Each structure stands twice: as structure tokens, then as C-alpha cells.
Chain A
Amino acid sequence: MTILNILIADDETPARNRLRDLLADIENVALVAEAKNGKEAIDLALQTKPDLLLLDIRMPLMDGIEAAQHAQKLEPKPHIIFTTAFDAYAIKAFDLNAIDYLLKPIRLERLQAAINKAHALQPKQIAALKPLQKARTHLSIHERGRVLLVPIETIIYLRAELKYITVRTAEREYLIEESLTNLEAEFAERFIRLHRNCLVTPLFIIGYEKRKNEDDEQQWVAILKGIPETIAISRRQQHLVRQA
């Protein structure tokens, strides 16, 4: 009989204690890590490669729903069971889409049954989780077998390039496979579109300048804090310069 490795994430110590006590009463499971929020859960999951994540929904910093989405990039993809004391909206969505969840206070038999039938989330179920989520707090980037979490507030700009999107922070660039339109909709309050292919965080814009582009035309560009590149502003967005 193989041992099932489990990671639990809950911001409340008593809740983690309770889960730990219950898991101790179940055979063939091992608790490999305890996290206080979603971000910690993903970080620890990268190190401990658990088979199953028990994720509380409401956690600070990164909630369980977002953690579950980032967890899709983990190898091997862990099974996921959500835990919650009360969240009528989420529970309805879980029921409709056969997503595994446990209601707190959690009973031993229920936990046992849930562990036995736990499965990885299907793409359809991931899609069903989307509406439960506020804007993500992090973007997850799959890079050489690792998953990096980039906090949204460190992103200077997002630029679409052929198949990928370049995510630029003060330190470096990352590549993600998402659509710029979806990102624009999700983070409407965070970024502005300066160009057809580019979303920029207004906080990082320190000025505007008129420059000649390759076709020898005068064009406005945005100068950004901390990085040498500039972002060209399309004709349609030039009213932003005038407002500045």
C-alpha cells in the first residue's frame, strides 16, 4: 500500500491542529507540510511534492481558489480538496461541478471518504472556479520544472509577443501563456493599455517623451521607473499623455 502525501493549508492554527489530529487517525497517509496561506502552500508543494492538497478557501495573501489554479502547474499535479466553514457561493459551485470539498468542522469519516475518492481537477472544474475568484494576487510561471509566483504588484508591464506574454518586473522578464485580453479584464484596476499589445501599471510610469520610431515618425513613449525600456503609446491612447 502506498502512502498518500498530504499538504494542508489554513491560516488558523486550531484548524491546522484539528486536521493534523484527524490525519493521524487515518492509515496510509502522511502529512508532509502545513501552510498558513495559498502562497506558502504552493512554495511548500514545490519542495514536498504532495499527492493531495487540503486547501482552506479564505486565507490571507492568497486564497485557496487561487492556490488551486497555480497548483495545476505542479508536477505531478496534486489532487485537491477544499475546506471551508461557510461559503454558500463556493459550495454551490463545488456541488454543481463535482469539486471535492469538506465542511468545517470536519468529521473523520468524511475526511477519510474524501481522501479515498480525491482526484485532480479537470479543466472544466478549473473553469468553474474562475468566477469564485477575485483577481489573482500572483501570476504563476512554469519554468524549467519549477513554478515561480510573481506578485501582481511587482509587474511593470505585460507585453504580448506572438505566442507568449512577457511579464516584466524590475528584476527580470518571464514568459507566460495567457491572453492579454483576459489579463486586461481580470486586472482592470491595475493596468492600463498603452498599446494594442501592452498593459502597463500606471504607478511605474514616470514620464512621457516624443521619439522617432523605425519609420521615422514622431511617437509618444512612456518612460518607466527602474528599467531602461520604454513603451510606445498607440495613437488611440494618446489622450493619456495629454491627461498627464
Chain B
Amino acid sequence: MRKNSRLPNLHNLGIHLRILLIVNLLAVMAAILLSQHLGEFLPTVAQLSALVQPILLLSMLGLYALYPLLNKLKYWHGIAAIILLEITFTSLIYLFIDHFFAFDANGEAYRACLLTAMVTSIVLYYFYLQERAYSPAIAEARLQALQARIRPHFLFNSINAVLSLIRSQPARAETALEDMADLFRVLMSENRDLVPLAQELSLCHQYLDLEKLRLEERLKITWQIADMPSDAMIPPLILQPLLENAVYHGIEPMPEGGEIIVKIYTKHKELSIIISNPYAPENDRHVGNKMALKNIKERLKLHFDLESSIKTNVKNNRYEVHIRIPFGS
């Protein structure tokens, strides 16, 4: 048993969705077992459901509320507490039925409590296995593998650009090398913790300054970030690779260059980041593009599970990536 197992994050919508799914699946299985023939199946499901859903609802609300406390306990204590809580919730529901419907369910209640404890164990075991699959050690290795992916194309072209400046504009060459050092420090560090949005943006500025060195007036950037919460926490290197994509696919193939628009805002406790660039289908080299997107998608999933999303679309000759990340309380 590893020491650093953690309880599932009961404040995460994705976790609750999975609990709902597993428990209902088990209920349907039970219904199949109980039914003698097909006609009995649906009534049995309904009967079980009438018991299962109230317990589920109460559990989810209860666990959501108690999660901050549970999370302070040691892993095993937390597990025991959750199982005890579930038995309590089941008993409460039975007491409620007993009281209001004057329905003697005492014998049933013991059975139900036992079943609840078993189902809870199954669900917790599932989360334990899932957490192990995404364990920090493995996740970190994956994050590392996922991160060291700046285009060699960019590295060598930038060095080439700096070399061209050394004779004529040594001061600009100095700044460019400093920017490169900062950029690669972040790229090579073991950064799996979330960083403030402002920090990621300053990295993006350094990156874009380097690209401007090569592409000059062909590269135009518009920032629509007046409503941006600078302190929002995001995974590191989410924006920079997308800008790199935008430059590689949207600016470099155009003789006259084009405009990259970055828009960041919050809405309904969600942080939205939208990056768009000019798009010409004949210049499409989507292979590299998909790699970077897949990479970011996977990292968002490691950090936020089902609560984040990344979508791409093409409209009005512009290619757009839209990232949504949970934000706030």
C-alpha cells in the first residue's frame, strides 16, 4: 500500500458523475438478477431505483459538504469514514420511509446497509485503481514526456536569428538570448503544479518577442485580456504551445503574415482562453498540430478531469482553439 493515496476529489463533477454511473449500473445488474422474465425487469429497476436514488442523492450532497473534513483525515481513516457515512445515510433513508410510510422495513434495512457498504467499497476501490493509473509518479513522467516538445524548428531558427544580430545589433541579441534562456528554463523544469495565468502570459510574451525577431511585421498579435483574472491558476505551458502552433500554421505560410488573437475571460466560474489565427486550407499541415492539441488535452485531463475542455473550429478563414478551465471558489 502506497502511503500517499488520496481520496477522490469529491468537489469534482466528474467524480460524482462516475459514482452515479457505477451505482446505477450495479442497480441494473441487480435488477437483471432479480427478474425471472423480461416483463419483471422494468418494474424491478423502478423499485430499486426508488431506494437507490434517494440514498445516492443524500450521499452526494453529504460527501460534497463533508469533503474538506474528510480530506484532512489519513487515507484509511477517510475510507472508513466514508463507508460509515454511507451506512448512516442508508439508515436515515430507511428511518424516513419507516416514519412517513409506516412501512416496516427493519429486516430490509440491515440488508440494505450491508449492500451499501459493499457498493461503496467497490466505488472506492475503482477510484483507488484509477488514482493509481494516474498516480503522481506516472502522471509526472507523462507530464514530463508531454512537455519537452518545443519545435526544434523554432529553436534552430531562433538561434540563427540571434546569430544574425550579434554583429549588427549586439544589444538586441543580448535580450533575445535572455528571453530564450527564460523560455527554455520553463520548458525544461519539472513543472506539474498549476501556475498563475499572469506568469504563463509573460512567458508567452517572451516567446512572441523571439518570433517577432524572425517574422518581423508579418506577426501581429492582439490581446483581448481586459477581463482576465491574472491570478487564475492554469497548468504551465498551455498557452505557449498553442501560440507556437498559431505561428507555425497561421503566420509562417502566409507571405504577408497575419494576426493572432488571444482572448481570455471568465464566465460562470469558468476561465475561457481563445486563440485564433488565419487559416488557409492549402497550407494545412495538421500532423504536428494534432500532436500539440492532444498533448494539451491530456494535461488538462490530468489536472481537471472532466471539468475542462478544449475545442477547435474553423470559421471565417480563421482557426480557433477554445479552452475552458474551472475557475474560482
Contacts and interface: CB of A to CB of B under 8 A. Distances in A.
| Chain B associates with chain A | yes
Interface of A: 11-15, 17-18, 21, 36-37, 58, 60-61, 85-87, 103-106
Interface stretch (B19-27, B250-258, B298-306): B250-258
Interface of B: 151-153, 155-157, 159-161, 163-165, 167-168, 213-216, 252-255
Given A58-B252, A85-B152, A86-B153, 20 more contacts: A13-B214, A13-B216, A14-B160, A14-B161, A14-B165, A14-B213, A15-B160, A18-B160, A18-B163, A18-B164, A21-B164, A21-B167, A61-B255, A85-B155, A85-B160, A86-B151, A86-B156, A104-B156, A104-B157, A105-B156
9 contacts: A11-B252, A11-B255, A14-B213, A15-B157, A36-B255, A85-B160, A86-B156, A104-B159, A104-B160
A14 B163 CA distance: 8
A35 to B, nearest CB: 12
Nearest to B168: A17
Nearest to A85: B156
B289 to A, nearest CB: 15
Contacts of A18: 160-161, 163-164
Contacts of B153: 58, 85-87
Contacts of B254: 60
B120 to A, nearest CB: 53
A103 B153 CA distance: 11
B160 A105 contact: yes
B133 to A, nearest CB: 33
A58 B164 CA distance: 19
Contacts of A105: 156, 159-160, 163
B191 to A, nearest CB: 25
B253 A60 contact: yes
Contact of B157 (A12, A21, A37): A12
B317 to A, nearest CB: 16
Nearest to B248: A58
A85 B255 contact: no
A87 B157 CA distance: 12
Nearest to B280: A60
Given A14-B160, A85-B160, A86-B153, A60 B255 contact: yes
Most buried by A among B156, B160, B163, B213: B160
Contacts of B161: 12, 14-15, 18
Nearest to B157: A85
A17 B164 contact: yes
A11 B161 CA distance: 12
A11 B214 CA distance: 9
Contacts of A86: 151-153, 155-156
A12 B151 contact: no
A18 B164 CA distance: 4
A105 to B, nearest CB: 4
Nearest to B176: A14
A36 B255 CA distance: 8
Contacts of A60: 252-255
Question: Which 10 A-B pairs give the minimum distances between C-beta atoms?
Answer: A85-B156, A18-B164, A14-B161, A14-B164, A86-B152, A105-B160, A17-B164, A104-B160, A60-B255, A85-B157
A36 B254 CA distance: 12
A37 B253 CA distance: 10
A15 B164 contact: yes
A37 B164 contact: no
Nearest to A88: B152
A180 to B, nearest CB: 22
B283 to A, nearest CB: 8
B208 to A, nearest CB: 15
Nearest to B254: A60
A3 B113 CA distance: 95
A125 B244 CA distance: 33
Nearest to A20: B164
Contacts of B214: 12-15
Nearest to A83: B160
Contacts of A14: 160-161, 164-165, 213-214
Nearest to A13: B216
A58 B168 CA distance: 25
Contacts of B160: 12, 14-15, 18, 85, 104-106
Nearest to B152: A86
Contacts of B167: 21
Most buried by A among B152, B161, B165: B161
A78 to B, nearest CB: 23
Most buried by A among B155, B164, B165, B216: B164
A191 B153 CA distance: 33
Contacts of A15: 157, 160-161, 164, 214
A37 B255 contact: yes
A58 B160 CA distance: 15
Contacts of A36: 255
Contacts of B157: 12, 15, 85, 104
B279 to A, nearest CB: 14
A86 B164 CA distance: 18
